[in-house]
Structure 1
């Protein structure tokens, strides 16, 4: 039957289109709206004949979904349409031409309806309000009007997905004693959708008004008072600390009989702010909204735990020790003024108190001075004149033998420090663990076990940890662990990079700067370098090296590089640097320059030495005769010489060497032989030729010293000695006898007879005379 009506409808449409639009190609109907999940049909009127095909949002549709009625009309059936909006077009199979198109929009009906009966204010009795809400999946810009029907009666309208009515009582509306159904209608200009009916039980949808919250605070607890209605009521009390975010909430349940008043007790800490919330509901009905308030608990003396502790400094020169006491102060949230007093009690060996002094402290720390003896420090806390709490701690004497823990070990894991130790042989009541990162701010805790966990630490800070055993009436000595970091960071940054390029290599140097106290150790360094187009190369060196030569580089080529420092905790990377290799090795040029300078200096030095030696040779052409051995003069006749011999026994007076200048100056000339006689009676005493030669060179006037002797004493010739002359270039050569010998000998006269046929002999001394004299 349904197929018959559809076919009839299509035929009618085709007939109308055939009459009115015989020459027009198009798709009908236009812009139709259908409910999501229903079927849609469109007709394509073909004015050019031939087969057609369909597209949905430009995608081809299966041919099985379309059916040709005749040569000019084709029907497309889209079943279970779920698109919000879709464009359907008809195309000619022969020409691919678009013959027409239409838009199909789907709408949905409202769903998931929920309704409540509630109160407008804190009024008992029948609820005054009825509110419903629902969901509607619609993607339309059109204005939608919603209407809520209760048992076929319209109770409210809205353009939102919620609606509240105050007219809920009366005929054909809501009856609190029986169930009722609710439907929601959505309507626009082009379509209308009605939801499925939803049935409700009035007793289950009643929502109470939020209850009044009455909380009384007492030391260490909160008292919440609850009151029931005329029916059985269930209540829930929820509370949590107000100062800590993320604190878990706790819920307490309380059921009250009709008209019953009940209390809920919350155990809390002293001087804490708590958020307290309460909600209630009739039996099997909806929960009311939460009523919330914040309440602060007063101070409870039993909750005060001072946890007094001390750190004893090394004794000064006078034996006085400074003791830094610290305790857990009363929270500032506690109302009132508190005073802290430290009493210093001096203990003898019998542990009896001999005297004490009071020190008034203003905060949670206080410093007192004690001597080398044992002391007990008592802390008392007063609020006005009322004692709130007290605690004491023992300070041992210097050199007092007390137990202590051993084998203390520490480790880090996920931002906390794990501490363990070995207990002493004596029984203990616990252990005190204190830790600090700067030596000024301490934290401490007590434990009954030989291990503990320290949390809430500063990130990447070194900590000093001390463990001290506690006994009934005293404390032992503390044992300090090795300093440990809360967390080890990555290695320090690579900086201070210097580069010295060459033609085919480069020398790179760097330093590592640890900006953090807990930087990780470097295991190795890796240098990554590359040209602009070349691959990235790398070289790795261990942590002991902070320089490297990169070899096998291309001359006159720019390079970029960076250095990575790798450790167990991570890697740090330096900034990228660049350099350019030289065309040729500068070290070769430096070597050549230095070598040229050295050779030049050597050549100049050698030339200067030669010039100096040549000048000396020209200024002093005659060698020192006293240092040479000469041959006999030409024409010399051997005979006995009456004069004093030279110091050298092998040389005689006759073998002396006279320069040409000396012979020209000395007059009259000497005889050529030792036995020659003078031609006159005049006796001439000869002057030492060495002195004559020396004086002649200095340009001095030479004088011939003549001495006449008596005939009766004989004639003797003495040469003037040159030994005492400071300018004597000769060796010790003297022809004059010593005074002792001259007094014992007779002076002998030498007659000099000038030879008429023999000319005076001129003697020249040359360098080759040394070679001639060597063989004689």
Structure 2
């Protein structure tokens, strides 16, 4: 509503200054400002006139120049009139401020304000909208009405008043809420529950007023009841629940009132989600003393229910508390969806079966305690049962040749019709490849794969389970058609937790090889970074390795391991490692520098840096040492082979290190003096220095035994020994000598300076006596020396006696011979031909 402009005069009184003294009695207004209005619509033009009195002391006796100001801003003033310039007029085309002062000033030094006026601008009020009223039936009874002030701000003080008129009594009342409040509660004395009342709201400000559309209602129909209470839930018949309810205690006096009632229900297993998926059921005109039946429910199923009420289209009460009830049980109905994995065991004599199942869309458990049985016979009995469980999977063994088993659901009332499960052995066929998983949101994952054309392919099975759970009951599966290569799987996927997703190809005669990947619905940086371990250090490079992050701390799929290392100068280098190997070799390092390195592990959700390690490469590494040692050993080995080969090829050197010695075990006087000596020595033309010719004579210990008077102590069994040779016939030891009781056994070794066939012996024979304590061969039998014949030579008798006179041998006297045997009694057993006669 637009108001007519009014001229308003504002007088500013200026004190009269006479000789510097203030005279309040003589104070007169110095000027007057007349404006078109002090409150104007926002954006409308404003006109003002300033008139200065002639006796104003500020302009007495001088020309006057008037200046206009709007707040701090100077406005261009209009031309002065003919009255000596003491009147000025200003026009503001559009006043866009909600509140400001317009002042008139006299130009002096400085300028003086002589008059002014405050101008406010705004909008007239809009009619209040959305008027509604609610009756409170709880003590104290009230009728509370509320409204909206409108979309446009008035920028002016607006007063709202609530007007009521009771039609039956023609009673009118006006209520004014506090400023800025757009609701008001009418007390119980201002309305009648069952009489219509007319209600409206009026808004008024300085620019106009407006009234809302009237609202006519019966207060009881606007009553918002307290939440009702479900007293109990009973089961009267199959598929139905009966609810008994009542109002609150403060509203219990409303007996037999007909109210509208709304019921909502859900399965008890869905209570975790907190949502009521089914639409509420509306029941009109229900008495407060009447129970309500809910039917078409599942058998043997626990339900949660809530109710709310209203009266004749009034506002709904709040929902009641939940109450649960269980419908009557019935035998399970419908079929089960199943998924089977098989593997051979024991040279393919039997199959390991892992069978999973879940309710199909048509399946109804119809009971609370449902179990599942797998049987080898369609009419399952105790003998044919393979397994029984309350879970969703079963593991068992089947002999080769079994083609099918039967799966049934069982409750207290009965069991469902059996679901046939065909047994197919595993097939070695690879059809699925390139499985990828893309998170859609926290509750769904999109699985994609590629498949090759294969005969007998009927479809695919997508299987998934949480990897941190070892219980197989968390395994879920879905089937797809053979021409489908993606599937959106939904469920309660936890963020930052790993899930194993496998895609299996299904054939007419079995299941092929799967492909499995790990997936996350949401990823973030790992909770820990592995610690770097220094494995090997070389001269210019080093090998770093680290352990695998535990699965529960990865928080995503590991995309990359990155090693950052730098030298003391701050030069950084970056090396990426294979996530599967978890090792890296840093090359081109300086042995004089101390390096520091740290590891960064990354997922698609973020990265985490590990701790820093320091290392320094060695001047000589293990590889270099091994190489040097290997080369040295090979060189020494080659040198040794050359030396040994040279020694064996040079007979002269061979003679120094390995002189030729006759073998006493195979020697005899005969061969020793002739063939053996010649064969075992090298010729003098080889110029070998000092050839040696050795032999030895051993004396055996003969134990003394009691003998008879007629026994000959020198009789022997004529057995040969390796130590005596063919030229020895006995022992010259006394008969009372016993080798077993003696500390030493005397024996002799004869050393020759030349071969037997030498024409002129240069040196006499050398006889060496040995005092060795090594025991020789012993025999318990006594023996007597016998005569052995030397080979007949020229000038020598054919028979010699080595051990003195005997009946069989007559000693031969020769020149110097007796002296020789007398001086060397131990050599009597040895006789050699004179080499000069050869």
TM-score, normalised to structure 2, is: 0.46
